[in-house]
Amino acid sequence: MRTLFKTSYDADINLFRDGRHAMWYGLLLAIAIVLPFVLGDFELGEVAHVLIWAIAGMGLMILVGQTGQPSLGHASFLAVGCYANVILQNDYGVPFILSLPIAGLIAGLAGVAIALPTSRLHGIYLGIATLAVSVLTGDLIVIAEPVTKGVFGLYAPQITIFGITIDRYGNPDRFYWLILAVTVIVVLLYKNLLRSPLGRSFAAVRDSEVSARAMGVNIPRTKAVSFGLSAGITGIAGALMGHYTGIFNNETFNLIMSIQLLLMIVIGGLGSIHGAFFGAIVVALLPQAIVFVRDTVSAVAGTSSVAIPGMETAIFGIILVVFILFEPMGIYGRWVKIRTWFELFPFARRDMFRRQRSYLKTERMR
Partner 1 sequence: MTALLEVDNVTLRFGGVVAVNKVSFSVEEGEVFALVGPNGAGKSTLFNLISRFYTPVEGDIRFEGRSILDRPSHEIARLGIARTFQNIELFDHATVLQNLLVGRHRHRRSRLWNELLFTPFVRQEERRHREAVEKVIDFLDLQAYRDKYIAGLPYGVRKVVEMGRALAIEPRLLLLDEPASGLSVEETQDVAFWVEDIKTQMGITVIMVEHDMHLVSAVSDRVLALADGKTVALGTPHEVQTHPKVIEAYIGAADPAERAVA
Binding residues for partner 1 (CB under 8 A):
9-10, 12-13, 189, 192-193, 195-201, 203-204, 206-208, 210-219, 225, 271, 355-356, 358-362, 365
Contact (Cβ atoms closer than 8 angstroms) between residue 221 and residue 113: no
What does DSSP say about strands 159-161 and 154-155: parallel, antiparallel, or unpaired? Answer: unpaired
Closest to partner 1 by CB, 236 or 284: 236
Q: At what angle do helices 273-301 and 311-326 cross, to 10 degrees?
A: 130
Nearest to 52 by CA among 356, 258, 277: 277
CB of 192 to partner 1, least distance (A): 4
Burial degree of 24 (CB within 10 A; 0-12, 13-18, 19+):
exposed
CB of 6 to partner 1, least distance (A): 10
CB of 45 to partner 1, least distance (A): 30
Distance CA 344, CA 166 (A): 47
* 103: number of Cβ within 10 Å: 29
Closest to partner 1 by CB, 220 or 317: 220
Closest to partner 1 by CB, 166 or 225: 225
CB of 205 to partner 1, least distance (A): 9
Contact (Cβ atoms closer than 8 angstroms) between residue 265 and residue 259: no
192-208 burial, b if ≥16 CB within 10 A, otherwise e?
Answer: ebbeeebbbbbbbbbeb
Closest to partner 1 by CB, 184 or 189: 189
Closest to partner 1 by CB, 228 or 279: 228
Contact (Cβ atoms closer than 8 angstroms) between residue 131 and residue 123: no
CB of 274 to partner 1, least distance (A): 16
Contact (Cβ atoms closer than 8 angstroms) between residue 103 and residue 90: no
CB of 58 to partner 1, least distance (A): 13
CA 343 to chain centre: 29
Instruction: Identify the bridge partners of residue 161 per DSSP, sorted by sequence position.
Output: 164
Closest to partner 1 by CB, 4 or 143: 4
CB of 341 to partner 1, least distance (A): 17
Closest to partner 1 by CB, 36 or 228: 228
Nearest to 234 by CA among 268, 203, 276, 201: 276
